């Protein structure tokens, strides 16, 4: 492997921003680090968020993915999306599916990522919300389900995947990353048969990554298959991608390689114009894997 390119339907010179609206979340998954979630942080003021939209809308061909925390617990999420819609060409929301299916059907967005978690007893309710959305969405909003395959919940995971398969719902099975260093997964937590089962499934969503100008794959599958070692590669993180943290601090990507680019909430953010050399042993976030990169 010498070159990786993004195959989302956008121009090469576009920029996708992963924007963590806040730390507040209504779930409490044990593998989600405290640096990005809790049940008590205040919601970011809507005026701050709107001002940020005004700033990022000036970036050519910008696309925005709202994350968290849980973005859909923000009390002004619908107002925020209404403000975004005429200013941002492409909008994604990544959500834990705890709102009603009708809420998701009404969102003015171009894509939804549902993350299905299994540690609490209400996981099946969230699965039914996703299935209801899938039934009535009628291909209006493209979406994918990230099945978070907790090693202690594999019976539930298998049940969920069977239901998604029966209804032709696009999904990707994801191993749990317990470390927040972005460098490794705890594969040894899984029984060998469970890990083999996880690895046997390819994402049923459309491939979004082109490898060496000839192989199409999905970023989540490349992560599962341990094919994301890009240390020393030249990466266009910061040009094709940005990450806005819950406090407004901006980085080139979710990996945070290269350090802070300033704070967009306080007006000190400056977007880079040059690529960077990757310093991570592993690229472990699907949002980062298919940022264009090459090995000399």
How far is it, in rounded angstroms, from Cα 292 to Cα 279? 15
DSSP letter at 262 equals: -
CA dihedral in degrees (111, 247, 287, 17; nearest 10)?
60
233-244 tens-digit pLDDT? 999 999 999 999
Res. 66: pLDDT tops 80: yes
How far is it, in rounded angstroms, from Cα 295 to Cα 1? 8
User: Structural domain tally of the chain?
Assistant: 1
Averaged pLDDT of the chain: 92
Closest-CA residue to 130 (of 162, 109, 105): 105
Closest-CA residue to 72 (of 16, 36, 125, 25): 25
177-218 tens-digit pLDDT? 876 655 566 787 899 999 999 999 999 988 889 999 899 999
Q: Which two tokens stand for residue 186?
A: 């705890």
pLDDT of residue 6: 84
Q: In what order do the strands lie in the sheet with 111-116?
A: 171-175, 143-149, 111-116, 90-95, 62-67, 15-20, 241-244, 250-251
- Residues spanned by the domain of 251: 3-294
Res. 107: pLDDT tops 70: yes
List 215's β-bridge partners, or say none. Answer: 211
Instruction: Kindly report the CATH number assigned to the domain that includes residue 92.
Output: 3.20.20.70
pLDDT of residue 72: 97
């Amino acid at each position: 492997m010498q070159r990786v390119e993004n195959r989302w339907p956008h121009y090469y010179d576009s920029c996708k921003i992963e924007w963590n609206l806040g730390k507040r979340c209504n779930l409490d998954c044990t593998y989600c680090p405290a640096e990005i979630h809790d049940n008590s942080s205040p919601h970011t003021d809507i005026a701050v968020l709107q001002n940020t939209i005004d700033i990022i809308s000036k970036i050519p061909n910008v696309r925005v993915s709202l994350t968290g925390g849980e973005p859909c617990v923000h009390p002004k999420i619908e107002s925020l999306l209404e403000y975004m819609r005429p200013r941002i060409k492409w909008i994604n929301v990544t959500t834990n599916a705890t709102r009603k299916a009708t809420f998701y059907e009404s969102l003015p967005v171009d894509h939804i990522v549902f993350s299905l978690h299994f540690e609490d007893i209400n996981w099946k309710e969230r699965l039914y919300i996703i299935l209801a959305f899938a039934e009535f969405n009628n291909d209006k909003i493209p979406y994918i389900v990230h099945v978070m395959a907790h090693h202690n919940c594999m019976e539930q995971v298998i049940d969920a995947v069977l239901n998604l398969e029966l209804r032709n719902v696009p999904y990707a099975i994801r191993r749990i990353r317990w470390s927040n260093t972005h460098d490794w997964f705890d594969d040894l937590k899984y029984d060998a048969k469970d890990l083999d089962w996880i690895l046997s499934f390819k994402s049923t969503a459309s491939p979004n990554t082109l490898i060496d100008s000839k192989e199409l794959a999905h970023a989540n599958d490349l992560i599962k298959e341990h094919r994301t070692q890009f240390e020393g590669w030249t990466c266009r993180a910061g040009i094709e991608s940005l990450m806005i943290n819950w406090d407004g601090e901006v980085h080139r990507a979710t990996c945070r390689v290269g350090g802070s680019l300033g704070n967009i909430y306080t007006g000190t953010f400056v977007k880079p114009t040059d690529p960077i050399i990757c310093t991570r042993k592993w690229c472990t976030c699907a949002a980062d894997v298919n940022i264009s990169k090459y090995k000399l």
